[in-house]
Amino acid sequence: MWNRYILFIKNICLATEQDANPLNYWRDRLFISGIAFLLPFCLIGLIPGLIMSYINDFLPLFIFDSIAFIVSVMVALVPKIPLIVRKWAIFMVFYGVGAVLIFFIGNYGPGLMYLLAVSILMILFLPNNQAYTSFYFNLATCIIFSLLIHFKLISNLPNLPHIDLVHWITVSSNLIFLSAMFSFLIPKLFSRLENSLKEQVSLQKELKKGTVKLKASLDEVESKNRELEHFTYVVSHDLQEPLRMISSFLELLKIKYYGKLDEKANTYISYAVDGAKRMRLLILDLSEYSRINKITEDPIFLDPKKILDELRVTFQDEIEIKNAEITVENLNPFLGYPSFFSILLQNLIANALKYSEPNRSPKIHFSMAERENDYVFQLTDNGVGIDAEYFDKIFILFQRLQQKNAGRGTGMGLAIAKKITDMLGGEIWVSSEVGKGSVFTFTLPNYEKVN
């Protein structure tokens, strides 16, 4: 209930204007919070004053307290009043209450307390360049009352207490002194706060601009990536049929005319057939690379042993021809993406089989280890190995080994593996020694702990 009341007051008072200055923005909201508390406090201050003035037959005080209460209600609840008008209306109400209390009661506390309170409120709610306004008001009020007392304009009024001029000047001078001190010190404090707020606002604006630019850049990059992925897929898909036709006719040409032409013609036919086969593999890899997009599903539990068994079937012919051996260690189910993991492992095994030494049987070992926030996988082979200068290049699209016994790959298998690990939030790297084999290591997040 109270929160809805506060929100109601804010909506009424802030509907007319918004100050761009950060310190004035803070002042306006502080004033509105004060207005929200003012109405309940009127029940404590003004309402008892009305009752007492009525009982004691102080009709002028009763009239002024009634006006003060009505103005306070209007300031808080009447819409479409400029905020500065609301502020000055409250200031005048407080000054009026103070002046009336001094006039009717004398200098014994309540009136001067109101004047000091309103001077502090004016310093808090008005800009720094108007800080001395309250001091001038208090000075003028004290001078006016001094003249009234000196010329006995107050003491001649019926039923009012006698006010001594010396006593009044002694007490009111403290009000003037405190008003001057507050008018000087509080704006000094606020000026530092204002500079800090301006710097903060400036930083927030710069950050917002940077965020907008970054978002625009990311959107543009994402759009370009989508276009590139779509283009790659369309090109690779549309090239399949004409390439299949070229490969088929080249194979027929080789079968029908191989040996019937001279050696040079036979060589050209072999080059053409091999080139067509290589282009087909390249297009298939390119198509697969283009299909590796964003993650659209939640991770599920996968069994790496089962995936490896499926891959053994996929590479069965090559495993039998090369008499390859694939061993495993510590493979346990974990939360991940089976399709991506299968493609990743498939490309690493294909790489190990492809770059094996012709004079020894391939030995491939796949292991898994769990760390605090991720899993570490290693695939070790005894193949031809890789020169250190190629460690980074082999993960780049279309980069192939250019060394003895390196084979004739498309240069996309390891690029696909890296794209998958990067997309899943992992890493991949290699350590190797030429002639002895390679160790491919990759990590995948432990989604149970990360999430």
Q: What is the pLDDT of residues 349-377, one digit of tens each?
A: 988 998 888 888 999 999 999 988 889 99
| CA dist., res. 16 & res. 154, Å (int) | 42
Contact 418, 349 (CB under 8 A): no
| CA dist., res. 317 & res. 280, Å (int) | 20
DSSP state string for 169-186: HHHHHHHHHHHHHHHHHH
Q: Count CA atoms closer than 13 A to 136's CA, side-chain side.
A: 4
| Amino acid, single-letter form, for residue 181 | M
Neighbours of 366 (CB within 10 A): 24
Residue 411 structure tokens: 């240069």
Q: Which residue has the tokens 């406090």?
A: 41
| Amino acid, single-letter form, for residue 169 | I
* pLDDT given for residue 35 in this prediction: 81
Burial label, 76 (beta-carbon count in 10 A; 0-12, 13-18, 19+): buried
| CA dist., res. 66 & res. 334, Å (int) | 76
Burial label, 173 (beta-carbon count in 10 A; 0-12, 13-18, 19+): exposed
| Amino acid, single-letter form, for residue 2 | W
**Chain centroid, CA 423 distance in Å:** 21
Neighbours of 399 (CB within 10 A): 16
Contacts of 60 (CB under 8 A, 6+ apart): 100, 104
**Chain centroid, CA 71 distance in Å:** 45
* pLDDT given for residue 406 in this prediction: 46
| Amino acid, single-letter form, for residue 442 | F
Largest CA distance in the chain: 142
Per residue of the chain (451 residues), give pLDDT as tens: 778 877 888 888 776 555 556 677 778 888 888 888 877 777 676 677 777 777 877 777 778 778 888 888 888 888 888 888 888 988 888 888 888 777 776 655 678 888 888 888 888 888 878 888 888 888 888 888 888 877 777 654 444 455 677 878 888 888 888 888 888 888 777 777 667 767 777 788 888 888 888 888 888 877 777 776 676 666 666 666 777 777 787 778 777 776 677 777 777 777 777 777 777 766 666 666 666 666 767 889 999 999 999 888 888 888 999 999 999 998 999 998 888 898 889 889 988 998 888 888 999 999 999 988 889 999 999 998 888 887 878 887 655 554 444 445 556 778 888 888 988 889 999 999 888 899 999 999 988 776 5
* pLDDT given for residue 222 in this prediction: 77
Contacts of 322 (CB under 8 A, 6+ apart): 353, 356, 361, 362
Q: Which of 366, 356, 362 is nearest to 327 (CA)?
A: 366
| CA dist., res. 125 & res. 114, Å (int) | 16
